[in-house]
Amino acid sequence: MSDFDLFKTTEEHEELRAAVRAVAEDKIAPHAAEVDEKSAFPRQALEALVATDFHAPHIGEEYDGVGADALATCIVIEEVARVCASSSLIPAVNKLGTMPVILGGSEDVKRRYLPEVASGEAMFSYGLSEREAGSDTAGMRTQAVRDGDDWVLNGQKSWITNAGVSKYYTVLAVTDPEGPRGRNITAFVLHADDAGFTLGEPERKLGIKGSPTRELFFDGVRIPGDRIVGEPGEGLKIALRTLDHTRVTIGAQAVGIAQGALDHAVAYVKERKQFGRAVADFQGVQFMLADMAMKLETARQMVYAAAAKSERGDADLAFFGAAAKCYASDAAMEITTDAVQLLGGAGYVKDFPLERMMRDAKITQIYEGTNQIQRLVMARQLLKK
Catalytic-labelled residue, pool 78, 79, 355, 368: 368
Q: Which of helix, strand or coil describes residue 273?
A: strand
Closest CA to 309 of 323, 293, 289, 292: 323
As a whole number of angstroms, the distance between CA 8 and CA 2 comes to: 10
Q: Which of 366, 350, 353, 349 has the alpha carbon at shortest distance from 261?
A: 353
Residue burial 157-191, b: 16+ Cβ < 10 Å; e: rest: bbbbbbbbbbbbbbbbbbbeeeeeeeebbbbbbbe
Q: At a CB cut-off of 8 Å and minimum separation 6, what does 191 contact?
A: 167, 168, 169, 197
Given a contact cutoff of 8 angstroms between Cβ atoms, the answer to whether 55 and 49 are in contact is yes
- Angle at the Cα of 79 from the Cα atoms of 67 and 83, rounded to 5 degrees: 140
Query: Which backbone phi and psi does 329 adopt, to 5 degrees?
Result: -70, -40
Count CB neighbours of 156 within 10 A. 18
Q: Output DSSP code: residue 25.
A: I
15 included as an active-site residue: no
Residues labelled as active-site residues: 368
